[in-house]
Amino acid sequence: MHPLGPSMSTLLRILLSLITAFVAVPLARAQSEAALAGMQAYNKGDYAAAYRLLRQSADAGDPHGLVNLGYLYARGHGVRADQLQSLRLYELSAKAGSSEGMNALGFKYLHGTGVSKDAKRAAYWFCEAIVRGNWRAMNNLGLLLISGEVPVDLPEARNLWKQASELGHPNAMNNLAISYLNGPDRDLQKADELMLRAAQLGHPGAQRYMRSRGYAGTFSPPINVELTMKPEPKGVVGHTKECGLYIS
């Protein structure tokens, strides 16, 4: 004769699943907090703390921890440089949906570090990151579009740099400014405006340019934002016509 209600083992399984559900939210939050703390430690130059925190986050499967731990291996900061290990971590991060992981994979294929150089595959990963609002990918695909490694498209490169500039990316501002200095439609006023914005955000090249133009104001300390760690963009969507060529 079968009991009318669920068995004791079934009740235990249900209870355990409920406990797991309640624990999962603070656990995920703690993992994100570890990744954020690791990024902050890295930006302060404390590579040992960054490695410990990002390793903890990556081991828990946090895509932010995975990609930023990959940066440590790529740059040899706090750990021996290992391009294959960084590639593996970027792939795991990208698979988990991280736009930063996708951009990092694109950068790998663009420059051929730890993997064969492949401009089209680089463009694919930049595109995947762009539609998720990643400013670095916008800047990087813009550079690729004027490199000659894929069909040159200066207007679309400018479109990407403009989007990244509006998100506050000084490198994109600098690149957009250079395109107005050296492009067929030279516009010194636009270039100066963009260079000043980039310089105020710490872009070293833009600061030198503004000094050469006689600017005497103060600037923030120079910094290369490409070498800093930052949280994933939220609520941002990028766009480019080029991505239709690479995302199937």
Predicted local distance difference test score (pLDDT) of residue 234: 86
Predicted local distance difference test score (pLDDT) of residue 241: 86
4 burial via Cβ count (<10 Å: 0-12, 13-18, 19+): exposed
Nearest to 85 by CA among 110, 103, 111, 58: 58
Q: Is the pLDDT of residue 225 over 70?
A: yes
Mean pLDDT of 76-103: 97
Position 88 confidence tier, pLDDT thresholds 50, 70, 90? very high
Reported CATH class of domain 23-97: mainly alpha
Q: Is the pLDDT of residue 6 over 60?
A: no
Position 161 confidence tier, pLDDT thresholds 50, 70, 90? very high
Position 157 confidence tier, pLDDT thresholds 50, 70, 90? very high
Position 192 confidence tier, pLDDT thresholds 50, 70, 90? very high
Q: Is the pLDDT of residue 3 over 50?
A: no
- Domain residue ranges of the chain, discontinuous segments joined by +: 23-97, 118-248
Position 243 confidence tier, pLDDT thresholds 50, 70, 90? confident
Position 188 confidence tier, pLDDT thresholds 50, 70, 90? very high
Position 247 confidence tier, pLDDT thresholds 50, 70, 90? low
Predicted local distance difference test score (pLDDT) of residue 8: 52
Same fold, 23-97 and 118-248: yes
CB-CB contact of 35 with 57 (8 Å): yes
Predicted local distance difference test score (pLDDT) of residue 123: 96
CB-CB contact of 104 with 67 (8 Å): yes
CB-CB contact of 177 with 190 (8 Å): yes
Predicted local distance difference test score (pLDDT) of residue 7: 55
Coil, strand, or helix at residue 62?
coil
- Name the architecture of domain 118-248: Alpha Horseshoe (1.25)
AA identity, residue 211: R
Position 38 confidence tier, pLDDT thresholds 50, 70, 90? very high
Mean pLDDT of 198-211: 98
